[in-house]
Structure 1
Amino acid sequence: MITKFIENYAKLIVSEPNDIKVYKEMIDDTFAEITIVANSVDIGKLIGKNGNMINALKTMANGCKAKDGISYKIQVVSK
């Protein structure tokens, strides 16, 4: 659920939406790492000014913790 939302959200922000890939890796039962792979020209758009865009994604992911009990770490990497 969270990965699909983040993927759709990221595709709306970037200039190369076909390059967006989102992966979720479970570290343990209560912690998961979500990786957003994007074109290098779009990294700044995903992070946003002063980190506002990525912080919004992190806030939304923390809201999902109340539903499924899993904490999320989100990172953005260049393709």
Structure 2
Amino acid sequence: MITNFIESYAKLIVSKPEEVSISTHKVDETFTEITIKANSADIGKLIGKNGNMINALKTMANGCKAKDGVSYKIQVLAN
């Protein structure tokens, strides 16, 4: 659920949405890492000024924690 939202949100922000990919790694039953891979020119757009865009994504992920009990860590990497 949260991965689909993050992927669609990230594709709206970047200038090359076809290069955006999302992967998840479940560390244990209460912690999951989400990795957003995008073009290196779009990394700044995903992070945003003062980290505002990535913090908005992290806030949304923390809201999902209340529903399903899983903590999420979001990373942004260049292709």
CA-atom RMSD, angstroms?
0.3
Q: Distance in 1 between matches of 2:51 and 2:58?
A: 10
Instruction: Give the secondary-structure state (helix, strand or coil) at the position aligned to 2:37.
Output: strand
Q: Per-residue deviation at 1:21?
A: 0.2
Which structure 1 residue ranges, 4+ long, deviate > 2 Å from structure 2? none
Could you tell me how far apart the structure 2 residues matched to 1:27 and 1:4 are? 19
Tell me the residue number matched to 2:56. Answer: 56
The count of corresponding residues between Structure 1 and Structure 2 is 79
Q: Counterparts of 1:27 and 1:3 in 2: how far apart (Å)?
A: 15
| Gaps in structure 1 of 5+ consecutive residues | none
Give the corresponding residue for 1:42.
42
Aligned to 1:7: 7
SS in 2 for 1:56: helix
Gaps of 5+ in 2: none
Identical counterparts, % of pairs: 73
Separation in structure 2 between the aligned mates of residue 66 and residue 50 of structure 1, nearest angstrom: 26
Q: Report the Cα offset of residue 24 of structure 1.
A: 1.0
